[in-house]
Homo-oligomer: A and B are copies of this chain.
Amino acid sequence: MKFAKIPPATIGRLSVYTRHLQELTRQGVEIISSEKLASLCSVNPAQIRKDLAYFGEFGVRGVGYYVKDLLFEIRKILGLNKEWNLGIVGMGNLGTALIGHENFLKQGYRFVAAFDNDPTKFARALPNGLKVFDIKEVKRIKDEVGMEIGVITTPASRAQEVANRLVEAGIRGILNFAPVRIHVPANCEVEYVDFTIRLDSLTYRLSVED
């Protein structure tokens, strides 16, 4: 791939493009212009072309983009030409719901391990046949099942401690649902999903506009 440094926002938008390209594929649409795709994704058409230009030339001038080809190329850019193995820590309501959620599989993410620190949960059988292990065993299990990314769904107060364990076990990527920032070494990447933060943005806007 290219050696320019890519805006994080571009990467986020590439994901959005793939969601809508997938939908277009399902609808049988074969070709789409940056203008139409932009409208679906609620962005500026030039933004789409610019985002893609970081990685190469994927369109046909005067025509547009071949939906299937573009989808394939973007997924390759995002590293999604392989399946990724996820391990999840914190088997409360949310963790249990995520492990059974279709969207992960649809995008190429597979849960291969589940952890908690509550012994009463170790017996429980999960939807997809996984068993819940003690978080202390994360290193052993990680190597056994080839876990690559850790998903944290514990309460905020335990997130840092879990992150430490994951890092220690050699995990290089973490998706954190707990509503606090966590601190990890530079060789480990973290992304955050905090739905109450998004709600706060909403309430801010709703409060201001009146």
Q: Mask for A152-195, Cβ within 8 A of B = 1, else 0?
A: 00011100000000000000111101011101000001011111
CB pair B201 A156 closer than 8 Å: no
The complex places the Cα of A103 from the Cα of B198 at a distance, in Å, of 13
A60 on interface, CB distance cutoff 8 Å: no
CB pair A79 B203 closer than 8 Å: yes
The complex places the Cα of A20 from the Cα of B180 at a distance, in Å, of 7
State which of B79, B104, B177, B204 has its C-beta within 8 Å of the C-beta of A11: B204
A65 on interface, CB distance cutoff 8 Å: no
CB pair A19 B193 closer than 8 Å: no
Which residues of B lie under 8 Å from residue A148 when comparing CB positions? 206
How close is A69's CB to chain B, nearest CB, in angstroms?
A: 19
Given A14-B200, A107-B200, A201-B8, A79 contacting B206 (CB threshold 8 A):
yes
A196 on interface, CB distance cutoff 8 Å: yes
Binds B, one of A45-53, A89-97, A136-144: A89-97
Given A104-B196, A196-B104, A191 contacting B181 (CB threshold 8 A):
no
CB pair A204 B79 closer than 8 Å: yes
Which residues of B lie under 8 Å from residue A173 when comparing CB positions? 202-203, 205-206
State which of B1, B20, B109, B194 has its C-beta within 8 Å of the C-beta of A199: B109
CB pair B175 A202 closer than 8 Å: yes
CB pair B107 A196 closer than 8 Å: yes
State which of B11, B42, B172, B200 has its C-beta within 8 Å of the C-beta of A78: B200
Which residues of B lie under 8 Å from residue A12 when comparing CB positions? 197, 200-201
**Which of A's residues lie within 8 Å of B, judged by CB?**
1, 8, 11-12, 14-16, 18-20, 23, 40-42, 77-80, 84, 93-94, 96-98, 100-104, 106-107, 109, 148-149, 155-157, 172-175, 177, 179-181, 183, 189, 191-208
- Can you name 21 A-B residue pairings with CB atoms under 8 Å? A12-B197, A16-B181, A20-B180, A40-B181, A78-B200, A78-B204, A79-B208, A80-B200, A84-B199, A93-B96, A97-B98, A98-B195, A102-B155, A104-B196, A106-B196, A149-B206, A172-B206, A173-B203, A175-B199, A175-B202, A193-B198
